[in-house]
Amino acid sequence: MSFTIEKNKELKDITSFHISAKADYYATYSTAEELRKLSMTEEFLNNEILNLGEGCNVLFAGDFHGMILHSCIKGFKRYDKDEETVFAIAGAGEKWDDFVNWTIGEGLGGVENLAGIPGSVGAAPVQNIGAYGCEVGSVIHNVECFDVITRQTVTLKGDECGFGYRDSIFKKEGKGRYIVLRVSFRMKKSDKAANLTYGPLADLEKRIQHAPTIHEVADEIRKIRAAKLPDPDVIGNTGSFFKNPVVRIYFYKEVMSVLDPDIPYYETDTPPYVKIPAGWLIEHAGLKGYRIGGAEIYPGQCLVIANRGGATSEDVLKLSDFVVREVKRKFGVTLQPEVNIIDTKIKVTILGSGTSKGIPEVGCYCPVCTSDAKEDKRMRCSALVETGGMKILIDVSPDFRQQALNADISVLDAALITHNHYDHVGGFDDLRPFCALGKFPVYLRKDVNSDLHHRLDYCFKDHLYPGVPSFEMHEIENSPFLINGLKVIPVTVMHGKVPIVGYRIGDFAYLTDVKTIPEEEMEKLEGLDVLVLNALRYKDHFAHLTLDEALALIQEIKPKKTYLTHFCHEIGKHAELLKKLPDNVLPCYDGLTFITH
């Protein structure tokens, strides 16, 4: 046997949402060696790679322009360690519930509370699947993986997998790098169920009049699941569409319970954080059974979005956006998807396109500053990039609050910072609404980070004033890094004499405040679909490109399309500037959106 590669694969029947989408390539393999050989093919090397188990936790937002990998590594084995402990090893390509049944048949306890969960063994550690008081990470001994970078097999111990609530290293630093081959579970040689704390199981012993066996617990859980969750073979769905938000108790008491004192919460193992049942919030926002197109909030369990026939990914995403907005409006908390949204499109919104003083300039009455055209009102520079199910901000301008309101931003996953000039970082305090779920991730150069620690010292003290924003600062080098698996390439450019950063994501790049680009950085800009580039005015400036300099640079970089930004009023009116530019160069304006790959 060898690996297989299929082209133009329809995904409707191999994903549990049963929504149509195509993948450029679909590859299967049955051994680690086959995967190693596959990883050396042109198709593998030249494409974005995505692992797909049983397709039970993904939504394809459109066709997938890359290669999907599907493991067919099979087999269950047991190694008896001692009188009490057995290591149960399962191939990534086995169905999760087949594994649960096998362990029960072998008289091994540990995963019975996870009975009936759709999906594959390989996906279980990735998602750290959890239900009825058990998370799989707590019983994982180790995970054998193929490392795409070294092309070697590596074994990660359970405590190296970064397990958290529906989270693991495989969704973060390890995304796109580690492909799960086999998982080893630490099982108990016992027929007696050990974990009966979760609500609906608590009275099981009383009901059946003896200590429940693992078999009985699994049966009970299958019954509860069947009553609440739709069978994906009959009604397309991916289980919980949203995560239960984990918020600081301070936020719960000061914001949420003020909006509605009945909102329930549960303690977590990580105080001061508490967990809020998202299903309750969605139901009490009045959205039970709410439909957009073929997508529905499933009445039996509001955490689920169901495909009631003919749903498109747009229906599901529109419904999900609506739910997020309504829950935020009513209860003050932002829901985040639990399902993996696969989106190779990049949507960019220009939030601000003006230079440091903005347009109109305060106290200026020139024709540009007094123009009525909305395109001539320019806030300070910043952009929103939406891709891979994430919303990433580039720079936090002093106008950020207004920009967030204008663009209706209710969720943000991270911010990328180009440099520390006030017009690019002056709005940091207004990131507060995005810090409620924990520290907000910011990616920036080391020098910018130390400067922000001075400017925003109140955010980094040992004893914080309640409610101040909290940030997780990631210092970047001049080499690619990953945000939840999304590859971001920093491009060092010169702002006069100061080195600053631009960013490339896929075939889109955002470069602001450029005067020159070092020769060695130019190759990072090859083959761009869309470039956003600054062009201050006509007259020379020591630190910014003029319009002519920008046009000359565009001729060198050769992107398919360029949008110019960071204008001062001397650039003239938008409508007039538009007429002066070549066909593939357009001026930005605030609120402009475009989609690229």
Smallest gap from Cβ 76 to ligand EPU, in A, equals: 24
Binding mask 293-312 for ligand EPU (x = CB under 6 A): --------xxx---------
When the beta carbons of 3 and 273 are compared against ligand EPU, the nearer one is 273
Among 28, 168, 184, 244, binds ligand EPU (CB under 6 A): 244
Residue number with CB closer to ligand EPU (266 or 422): 266
| Residue 168 found at the interface with ligand EPU (CB under 6 A) | no
- Interface residue with ligand EPU among 24, 63, 147, 283 (CB under 6 A) is 283
Interacting residues with ligand EPU between 202 and 231 (CB under 6 A): 228
Q: How far is the CB of 228 from ligand EPU (least distance, A)?
A: 6
Asked if 15 touches ligand EPU (CB under 6 A), the answer is no
| Active centre residues (catalytic) | 166, 240, 338
Asked whether position 240 contacts ligand EPU by CB under 6 A, the answer is yes
Does residue 326 bind ligand EPU (CB under 6 A)? no
Closest separation in Å from C-beta 338 to ligand EPU? 5
Do residues 173 and 482 lie in contact, with contact meaning Cβ atoms separated by under 8 Å? yes
Category of 502 on φ-ψ map: left (φ > 0), alpha (ψ -120 to 50) or beta: beta
Binding residues for ligand EPU, total number by CB under 6 A: 15
> What are the φ and ψ backbone dihedral angles of 156, each rounded to 5 degrees?
-95, 130
Among 3, 29, 64, 132, binds ligand EPU (CB under 6 A): 132
Radius of gyration of the chain (CA): 26
- Helix or strand run (H / E) with residue 104: helix 96-105
Give least dist CB 559 to ligand EPU, A: 41
Give whichever of 213 and 301 is closer to ligand EPU, judged by the CB atom: 301
Burial of residue 593, with CB atoms counted within 10 A of its CB: 0-12 exposed, 13-18 middle, 19 or more buried: exposed
Q: Which of 129, 97, 99 is nearest to 115 (CA)?
A: 97
- Roughly what angle, to the nearest 10 degrees, separates helices 96-105 and 214-228? 150
User: What separation in angstroms does the CA of 422 have from each of 28, 332, 397, 412, 573?
Assistant: 51, 30, 8, 21, 25
CB of residue 242 to ligand EPU, shortest distance in Å: 7
Output the smallest distance, CB 95 to ligand EPU, in A: 16
Q: Which is nearer to ligand EPU, 320 or 353 (CB)?
A: 320
Is 279 one of the binding residues for ligand EPU (CB under 6 A)? yes
Task: Using the rule CB under 6 A, give the single segment among 5-13, 238-246, 344-352, 540-548 that binds ligand EPU.
Answer: 238-246
- Cβ-based nearer residue to ligand EPU, 115 or 392: 115
Contacts to ligand EPU from residues 248-277, by CB under 6 A: 277
Nearer Cβ to ligand EPU (228/455):
228
243 scored as a contact of ligand EPU (CB under 6 A): yes
Which of these ranges, 154-162, 174-182, 240-248, 360-368, lies near ligand EPU under the rule CB under 6 A? Answer: 240-248
Among residues 95, 158, 108, the alpha carbon closest in space to that of 128 is found at 158
CB of 337 to ligand EPU, least distance (A): 10
**Is 59 strand, coil or helix?**
strand
Closer CB to ligand EPU, 217 or 476, in the complex: 217
Among 87, 280, 460, 481, binds ligand EPU (CB under 6 A): 280
Q: Cα–Cα distance between 233 and 182 in angstroms, integer? A: 26
Distance in angstroms (rounded) separating the CA atoms of residues 137 and 334 = 26
Choice between 9 and 243, CB closer to ligand EPU: 243
Least distance to ligand EPU, CB of residue 272, Å: 20
For ligand EPU, the binding residue among 11, 50, 131, 459 (CB under 6 A) is 131
Token pair, residue 152, equals: 């070697």
Give CA 212 to chain center in angstroms: 40
Q: How far is the CB of 96 from ligand EPU (least distance, A)?
A: 12
The distance in angstroms from the start CA to the end CA of the chain is: 35
Binding mask 76-115 for ligand EPU (x = CB under 6 A): ----------------------------------------
- DSSP three-state, residue 540: coil
Which of 336, 492 has the CB closer to ligand EPU?
A: 336
The count of C-alpha atoms lying within 13 angstroms of the C-alpha of 587, restricted to the half-sphere facing its C-beta, is: 26
Angle, vertex CA 575, rays to CA 570 and CA 579, nearest 5:
95
Centroid of chain to Cα 315? 19
Assigned token pair, 177: 């790098």
Q: How far is the CB of 225 from ligand EPU (least distance, A)?
A: 7
Q: Which residues pair with 348 in a beta bridge?
A: 385, 594
Binders of ligand EPU among residues 331 to 390 (CB under 6 A) are 338
* Secondary structure in 3-state letters for 137-196: HHHEEEEEEEECCCCEEEEEEHHHCCCECCECHHHCCCCCCEEEEEEEEEEEECCECCCC
Q: Which is nearer to ligand EPU, 27 or 276 (CB)?
A: 276
Nearest distance from C-beta of residue 271 to ligand EPU, angstroms: 19
Rule CB under 6 A: say whether 232 interacts with ligand EPU: no
Contact 73, 62 (CB under 8 A): no
Per CB under 6 A, which region of 5-13, 236-244, 425-433, 536-544 contacts ligand EPU?
236-244
d(CA 222, CA 228): 10
Site for ligand EPU in 435-464 (CB under 6 A): none
Contacts of 523 (CB under 8 A, 6+ apart): none
Give exposure, 393-421, as e/b (b: 16+ Cβ within 10 Å): bbbbbbbbebbbeebebbbbbbbbbbbbb
Considering beta carbons, is residue 132 or 510 the nearer one to ligand EPU? Answer: 132
Q: Tokens 């970082």: give the residue.
A: 425
Residue 283 is encoded by which pair of tokens? Answer: 């139901």
List residues binding ligand EPU (CB under 6 A).
131-132, 228, 239-240, 243-244, 277, 279-280, 283, 301-303, 338
